[in-house]
Amino acid sequence: MNRLGATVRTPNVPVQSAELRGFAGQLGRLIWRFNVAVNRALVVYREPVLDMQLIQERIAGAAMELFASTCTLSRWDSELQASQRNGNAASSDSSAPGLFLRQSFRRIRTFLDSSGNNDDKAILATADSVLGKTR
């Protein structure tokens, strides 16, 4: 997918298990939001973003959560598919992976929301004050 297409379309997160399509859809939307947030940071801050650790922290946090969510969803889908191939009913205990995904999605949204709504200026002003610096 090219850069323009990635900013317009939500990526498809493929899963084989129908019961996971809701999680896959949410993950796809969060990946799209992550792409928009990173592109916005690059446009707004340009090269200085490389020195902006507060912004980098949010981007990195969201990226790690997206990765962990993708791994969890993939593993859960694989386990469901394996149990169906073996003729077993799908495990009804989906509490652990489902809880992890819901919490991870919440953390991703928090990271992404705070990229535009944060206390960065106050944090930096306080740090400068404590260190005796002026900007």
DSSP classification of residue 10: P
**pLDDT tens across 91-108, in order?**
667 799 999 999 999 999
What pLDDT, on the 0 to 100 scale, is given for residue 16? Answer: 96
CA distance readout (Å), 46 to 8, 49, 50, 51: 21, 6, 8, 10
Q: Kindly report the pTM of this predicted structure.
A: 0.79
Place of tokens 């859960």: 76
* Distance between CA atoms of residues 26 and 69, nearest Å: 11
Sequence letter at residue 25: G
**pLDDT tens across 42-58, in order?**
888 777 766 688 888 99
Mean predicted confidence (pLDDT) in 75-97: 82
* Distance between CA atoms of residues 106 and 65, nearest Å: 10
